[in-house]
């Protein structure tokens, strides 16, 4: 690679051969280039009468917009091996700063085009924290192929990596619907995965398109509500999806809660059902402040335990 000044007349800025789009603005880049010019020389490759960009697409575009005539660049010869250039390009990208999900997906797509899955250099995958497993690499490649609109959302940081990989390969309406929901709720990674899994399971069980699961008046009512804050909307969506995914368990929980409320238990006494109401191991939790208080609570709870009221709560139907 030779370092020399190259004018913009000699550079084809529209050639996307080596482009990995960030899909996110760099707010400080215009100011930096306006004040100091290009500090990190871009990389070019000779291609016939002109040069194509290998690294530094945004820097060069911004410099041209600022009225610069060209830039000091590192220039690779025309016969330089394309795979070697890609390895250098990806290595520079992943080790100079943190990359977003859209960039990760594009990088994996490029690497799968250059290598067999088992032959991808391990240091590149380690640099972006991706295991060399065929099913994982396939999901990243599917995300890269999902279109610029999806990649732009992935680049925003609103979607967790685990959730993104779960929807890789979904049909476009389903992917668009769940991504739009996640962006509105702005919930944690674990809740995002929970929502994605429930939408998928409901769609499979009921033979529905995934977008159809979310295209429901109740969902729209939750999202458009002016009375609910973001956390309340998230909880309401989770409860609705749980109701669809586990209708019998949801019904059982509501009956239990109704019976508990009818008992009007004192605040220091709580009845806890077995997980999923399966098995016969129920719990009664007592809150007390000392041994004498505990004796008083146990004595006052005895009439309730001896009555038929508790049996009503424990009934399976």
- The angle formed by the CA atoms of residues 172, 175 and 176, to the nearest 5 degrees, is 85
Q: What is the pLDDT of residue 234?
A: 95
pTM reported for the whole predicted model: 0.77
Quote the pLDDT of residue 282.
78
Copy the structure tokens of residue 203: 């769609």
Dist CA 48 CA 290 (whole Å): 87
pLDDT of residue 56: 93
Q: Count the Cβ atoms, other than its own, within 10 Å of residue 159.
A: 21
DSSP assignment, residue 195?
H
Question: What backbone phi and psi angles, to 5 degrees, belong to 283?
Answer: -125, 145
Return the pLDDT at 270.
Answer: 79
Rounded to the nearest 5°, which phi and psi values hold at 81? -60, 130
Instruction: Show me where the domains of the chain are located.
Output: 1-80, 158-245, 264-314
Instruction: Give whole-number Cα distances, 304 to 253, 262, 277, 298, in Å.
Output: 22, 13, 22, 10
Residue 312 CB contacts under 8 Å (≥ 6 apart), including other chains: 259
Cα 22 to Cα 29: distance, rounded to the nearest angstrom: 13
What was the pLDDT predicted at 317?
58
Q: What is the pLDDT of residues 86-96, one digit of tens each?
A: 999 999 999 88
130-162 per-position pLDDT tens digit: 999 999 999 999 999 999 999 999 999 999 999
In sequence order, what are the residues at sequence separation of 6 or more whose Cβ sits closer than 8 angstroms to the Cβ of residue 30? 62, 65, 66
Tokens, residue 165:
């990989």
- Can you tell me the distance from the alpha carbon of 209 to that of 171, in angstroms, rounded to the nearest whole number? 9
- Kindly report the backbone phi and psi dihedral angles of residue 70, in degrees, each rounded to the nearest multiple of 5, phi listed first: 175, -165
- The pLDDT, as a whole number, for residue 262 is 74
User: Strand pairing of 11-12 and 2-7?
Assistant: unpaired
Closest CA to 86 of 12, 5, 19, 26: 19
Collect the ranges in the chain with pLDDT lower than 70. 247, 249-251, 276-277, 279, 307-309, 311-317
CATH number for domain 1-80, candidates 3.90.1530.30, 3.10.105.10, 3.10.180.10, 3.20.20.70: 3.90.1530.30
């Amino acid at each position: 690679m030779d370092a020399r000044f190259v004018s913009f007349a000699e550079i084809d800025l529209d050639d996307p051969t080596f482009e990995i789009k960030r899909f996110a603005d760099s707010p400080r880049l215009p100011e930096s280039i306006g004040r100091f010019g290009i500090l990190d020389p871009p990389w070019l490759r000779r291609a016939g009468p002109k040069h194509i960009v290998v690294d530094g697409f945004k820097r060069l575009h911004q410099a041209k917009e600022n009225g610069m005539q060209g830039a000091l660049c590192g220039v690779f010869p025309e016969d330089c091996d394309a795979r070697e250039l890609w390895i250098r390009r990806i290595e520079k990208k992943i080790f100079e700063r943190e990359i977003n999900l859209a960039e990760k997906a594009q990088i994996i797509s490029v690497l799968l085009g250059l290598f067999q899955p088992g032959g991808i250099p391990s240091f590149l995958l380690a640099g972006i924290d991706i295991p060399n497993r065929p099913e994982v690499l396939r999901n990243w490649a599917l995300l890269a192929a999902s279109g610029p609109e999806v990649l732009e959302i992935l680049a925003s940081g609103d979607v967790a990596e685990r959730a993104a990989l779960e929807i890789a390969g979904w049909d476009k309406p389903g992917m668009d619907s769940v991504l739009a929901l996640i962006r509105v709720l702005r919930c944690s990674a674990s809740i995002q995965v929970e929502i994605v899994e429930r939408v998928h399971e409901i769609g499979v069980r009921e033979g529905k398109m995934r977008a159809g699961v979310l295209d429901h008046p109740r969902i729209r009512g939750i999202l458009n509500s002016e009375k609910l804050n973001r956390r309340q909307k998230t909880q309401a969506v989770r409860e609705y999806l749980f109701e669809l995914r586990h209708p019998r368990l949801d019904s059982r929980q509501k009956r239990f809660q109704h019976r508990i409320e009818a008992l009007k238990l004192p605040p220091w006494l709580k009845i806890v059902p077995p997980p999923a109401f399966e098995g016969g191991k129920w719990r009664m939790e007592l809150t007390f402040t000392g041994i004498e208080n505990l004796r008083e609570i146990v004595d006052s709870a005895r009439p309730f335990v001896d009555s038929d009221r508790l049996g009503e709560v424990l009934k399976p139907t």
